[in-house]
Structure 1
């Protein structure tokens, strides 16, 4: 029987198992970013990229779904960090912070389409369980609704239920992100300008002064 080849990875020292787990997550995320195929994710290929044997994967993850959950959680965390950093450094009031967060969302999709495909492409993350759905996939929506509520409190956007207003805004942002990937040759306007169109049209947020 042929032995499985690895890349000759050095064995982790005692207490470094967490590093291997993180490397497996990164290997799986990279593979998904390239293929966009969650259902066809190969644990053997993930192990090869991480430089370990296939059985080593099961020391950290019970099955492929467990690995996928960690991959998606890590990528949602990256998205949240990007939005949070943009909001924290935005100049101006709550309306401009809302704009910065929305632009950061679209910017990640444009700048790193592979990561965005991991988040919202292929099999839906809701297949991984209700708890996962509530804790991970709804985070961008909650962040958007909170941003709208803050902008309302500052008088920057129209009144209404923030969660209800967030639905068409999120759908429009997602549309920009996915359509730019699907139709790269289309003469798309600047992504930031499209975000301004959405916020002005759906929420009444005046365009940023230049």
Structure 2
């Protein structure tokens, strides 16, 4: 039988410092996104209950609900970027291996955190940009660090002669779109019999990678073993 009881509120701590209280608010909102994948689950009341604070105290740190959602989504993108950097650090110096490590980390993040990922890409339900919160600049900057990483690994491949792509930023955007499509379809098409090596083929095509011999194929085979 499903448990219909609301999760217990955090213990109240009236002596929380300002920065700690702000972090508790963002953490509470992030938990709600993780559970629902939907920004509409975030309200002043739900966040206050989850954080164990009085709702009016939120206004000391956030002007409105939209600002809380934005902070939670920013946190999610920061965690995605950290995951990509972790994979990159373990990938060594081979440019192709580094490219696949970043792409693999992206797809792993989406698979391990499906609700959070859905909220990051379209289900946060923030209102249209305004002059207060969030602004158009706030929304445009989401994911900048992740896109920069994709551009950098593509540039590394270009310098090593592993790709014919001459426009790293355009290539990075195309690669991100492909990764997002893979992540989304893997999540919603769970009964589809994915052909072996689908992710490898998509990444190779969108990154315009050329065949550089056995070493490159070995790297791609490692990814193929872990992907749809």
Q: TM-score, normalised by structure 1?
A: 0.84
**1-side partners of 2:126 and 2:194: how far apart?**
27
Higher mean alpha-carbon deviation, 137-146 vs 169-178, is at 137-146
Per-residue deviation, residues 102-144 of structure 1 (Å, max 9, x unmatched): 1101110011112212211313698432321343233322221
1:95/1:154 contact within 8 Å kept: no
The change in CA–CA distance for 1:155 and 1:145 in structure 2 (over 3 A counts) is same
Per-residue deviation, residues 72-113 of structure 1 (Å, max 9, x unmatched): 111111011000111111034112111100110111001111
**2-side partners of 1:98 and 1:28: how far apart?**
32
2:201 pairs with 1:200: no
Q: TM-score, normalised by structure 2?
A: 0.78
Per-residue deviation, residues 19-43 of structure 1 (Å, max 9, x unmatched): 2211211111121222232245222
**2-side partners of 1:35 and 1:126: how far apart?**
21
Measured on the aligned residues, the alpha-carbon RMSD in Å equals: 2.4
Which residue does 2:111 correspond to in 1?
110
Structure 1: unaligned runs, 5 residues or longer:
1-5
**2-side partners of 1:152 and 1:134: how far apart?**
27
Structure 2: unaligned runs, 5 residues or longer:
1-7, 211-215, 223-228
